[in-house]
Amino acid sequence: MPDPIYWMFIIPGLLLGLYAQFKLSSTYRKYIRVGTNSGLTGAQAARIILDEAGLPQMPIQEVPGHLTDHYDPIKKRLCLSSEVFHGQAIASVGVAAHEAGHALQHKAAYAPLQWRMWMVPATQIASQAYLPIFILGIILGSAWFSKMIGLIIAIFAVISLFQLITLPVEFDASRRARAQLQRLGLIHGQEAIGVGRVLNAAALTYVAAMVSSVLQLLYWITVARNSR
């Protein structure tokens, strides 16, 4: 059973994460029902942004799932969920434009995006390694587990750094999205406010993930100090 100090570090991040998910869900549900004056779908809005940026060959692919939208930097393509791909709502256009913003970052060699791409393999390894190490430590006992704390700290340091680098990437993609939507006349007036709210709610989930990772890192650093 985790000690009380564990919950002191974990609960704030957990609560922030739950709030972020609630905020994103409620904001998205609201603006997925509000159409844009242009009548453009998310895919069409993204296509206009990409074409105007000199990326007419970049494919926009429909993918299954809810809020599964992402930019694939390896295959250089936009992947939009069906609701965003076909939707003519403020949320659809905003999310699609955000993913197009990542493509614009890639074209411009935006440094934080490059850093995040470089860190993906190490972060995947760290994320996959934590649970087996944690379970093995419980099985083998505290003596063995105390020897592995340094490795656990390294794991969360990698994850926390990745989450920290992710923040400017996501905020900048949203900034580019809003700027392009307005510059190209794809949204007007109150629509810009709705797009901003959707993208800000999405950004909060990344903030919550970063806070949670950092708190877990601090917890294991505290454990390591107390075990000396």
List the catalytic residue out of 83, 99, 170, 191: 99
Is the four-CA dihedral 20, 23, 25, 31 of positive or negative sign?
negative
Do residues 185 and 152 touch, judged by C-beta distance below 8 A?
A: no
Q: How far is CA 144 from the centre of its chain?
A: 35
Catalytic site residue 62? no
Do residues 97 and 177 touch, judged by C-beta distance below 8 A?
A: yes
To 5 degrees, how large is the angle CA 44–CA 45–CA 49? Answer: 115
Amino acid 47 reads R
The strand order across the sheet containing 70-72 reads: 60-63, 77-81, 70-72
Amino acid 59 reads P
How many residues in the chain? 228
Which residues are known catalytic residues? 99
